[in-house]
Chains A and B, each alone.
Chain A
Amino acid sequence: MPFPLDLHELGTPVTYTIFVFIGIGFGFMLEQAGFGRSTKLAAQFYFKDFAMFRVMFTAVITAMVLIYGAVAIGILDLRKVYVPGTFLWPVAIGGFILGVGFLIGGLCPGTSIAGAATLKLDAMVFLVGVVIGVFIFGETVPFFMGFWTSSDLGRFTLPEWLGIPAGVIILFIVVLALLLFWGSEQLEKKMGGADPAEAPKARYYGAAAIVLVAVIVLFLGSPGTSDYWEAVAADEQVRIDNRELQIHPAELLGLMNDTYVNLVMLDVRDERDYNQFHLRAAQQVDPTLESVEDAAPDLIGLHPRTVIVTMSNDERDATEAWKTLTANNVINVYILEGGVNEWLNIFGEDAEPKPTAYPDQSAFVFTSALGGRCVASDPDSDDLELVFEPKVVIAGPTAVVGGGCG
């Protein structure tokens, strides 16, 4: 997937030039919309002029179908796109305050810049007001930092919340927007404004086109883990086959005792095996695709010196989990060589072996559920001097850590 571009690779001058040009497009459209004029924006809330509502909602549905269209045909990697995090209550209260200020001042930060560009004095004064508001916020937020950082739901989208595919939600929003546009035209006619019959017919073709794109997006669907894996399989499968990722138990033991490494161990065996025995700091994740997919976002953007190690009884499920995480852009993931069975071969002095009948089955007998409480869960690193080939190389962060109004 070629987009979004890797801005770090392009360098600062090129990146900043791109942003200036995007800003020019943004400012141009805001001014064309008439958003530099406070009266035009405020008139929306007295139902005298529907330009603000129409421009904004048209922009949202246009961008939405184009973005998800690009995702559906595989040219845009949505996981690398910055989505504002959801802090539920702060967002609701901030939005309300902003709405009140918008009605009093008639502008918002972006439109006041566009207004100031066309020498509207009220827009310039408004901008000074924005600076004052920003100043007051900066000075007072330490007093309500707790609230301001509360109800953090992270990157949380409507499809995740409702459990409905993005395509369905997009089509619903598009149809809803078109109905509201139709309603606004009827209302405008009633209020003695423009007659919808005189508006250009082209808007019907536009509406049909946007519905058509939304339907196509719905049928193409959004790519999932298997698509993402296919995109990287050519390179990554080689690394698995060359055993570049399977780390020796002794190397893992070294990582466990390395205070400069943030080690995350994912035990992808079922709960029964996990309860019988697991490495002390290992977290249990069900070996299903969904569970591992759910874990992936939490493993992105951790401390730069993070190493993630997956493990199962031998290597089968751990390798599948590795593929799922790697396909979902998690970096620095390794597999425990030989799995928990090999770990117990080396460190489980008293463990009693048993024959295995099928792959990825525990090869030891447990008379009680030891969990993470026995010596083999966190062995003493000085006990053994094992020879192994170190494989862990901590790669730099590649995840997008940008931010909307940053």
Chain B
Amino acid sequence: MTIKPVGPSVRKDKEPNPRPFPNPYLVGVGLGTVLFLSVLITGDGLGASGAVQRIWAWFESLIVPQHVDNNIYLVTYAGGDAQPLNHWIVMLAIGVLIGGFISGLIGRRVYTEIVKGPAISNGTRLLFALLGGSFVGFGARFARGCTSSQGLSGSALLSVGSWVFMMAFFAGALAAAPFFKKLWND
């Protein structure tokens, strides 16, 4: 997003001045420690896509409860009197929102922006974000978990399925990379 040039002094204040990201190995140790604490304290790993599933199932059961009750998959989340939001993973997602915001504040990175490759327009980026997001949402439910739960948590717990997931995930991204070069490169 472009920032309107109002005047030299004002502009200097408004121009985003994000701090650089810390060393990735260091952040990796931090992330691994959070995952460890989650498993140690609660017996559950980290996750994200399940929260989206539950929020959506809640919304869908508000509008078309009959339809949800008749769907062999959705009924397990929001059938009858089930409270899809009454689940730990929804709390975790709320925490992710708060934690991301705090980290952004510290890193001076909280400002509206469309993050995109240099060769595409904002509209193109948003269109592909929507498209990519729907692939990811579909794939995450298909695999019974996303990069956080199947990928990160399951791999650390040595689950065979999670290591298969990780390899398939990297294979999918690498296979798609040559076709979408323009999205991310000059």
Contact = CB atoms under 8 A, between A and B. Distances in A.
Interface of A: 3-5, 7, 15-16, 18-34, 36-40, 42-43, 45-46, 50-51, 54-64, 66-67, 70, 75-76, 80-88, 90-123, 125-139, 141-142, 145, 148, 153, 155-161, 166, 169-170, 181, 199-200, 203, 206, 400, 402-406
B139 interface: yes
Contact of B154 (A93, A181, A404): A404
A402 B88 contact: yes
Residue from A42, A81, A109, A120 having most chain B Cβ neighbours under 10 A: A109
A102 B99 CA distance: 22
Contacts of A113: 48, 93, 96-97, 100
Given A94-B143, A405-B47, A85 B161 contact: yes
A166 B113 contact: no
B135 A64 contact: no
A224 B165 CA distance: 29
Contacts of A169: 158
B82 interface: no
B99 A24 contact: yes
Contacts, number: 577
Contacts of B168: 91-96, 99
Contact of B103 (A28, A42, A43, A107): A28
B46 A22 contact: yes
A106 B132 contact: yes
28 contacts: A15-B42, A18-B41, A18-B42, A19-B91, A20-B98, A27-B99, A54-B25, A84-B145, A86-B159, A86-B162, A88-B161, A95-B167, A96-B139, A97-B142, A99-B175, A100-B172, A105-B130, A108-B147, A128-B130, A131-B52, A131-B56, A134-B138, A134-B140, A138-B60, A157-B158, A402-B42, A405-B50, A406-B87
Given A64-B158, A134-B56, A106 B184 contact: yes
Residue from A16, A28, A145 having most chain B Cβ neighbours under 10 A: A28
A67 B172 contact: no
A45 B32 CA distance: 22
Q: Which 8 A-B pairs have the closest CB atoms?
A: A23-B95, A105-B132, A129-B133, A99-B172, A133-B137, A58-B28, A101-B135, A94-B143
B139 A36 contact: no
A139 B29 contact: no
Given A106-B183, A127-B133, 10 more contacts: A4-B43, A28-B99, A55-B27, A59-B28, A70-B40, A84-B162, A129-B129, A158-B160, A203-B23, A405-B148
B10 interface: no
A16 B88 contact: yes
B95 A20 contact: yes
B27 to A, nearest CB: 4
A125 to B, nearest CB: 4
Interface string B106-146: 01011111111100000001101111111111111111111
Contacts of A129: 129-137
Residue from A134, A135, A141 having most chain B Cβ neighbours under 10 A: A134
A175 to B, nearest CB: 15
A102 B128 contact: no
Contacts of B143: 90-91, 93-95, 97-98
B137 A109 contact: yes
Contacts of B173: 45, 99-100, 102-103
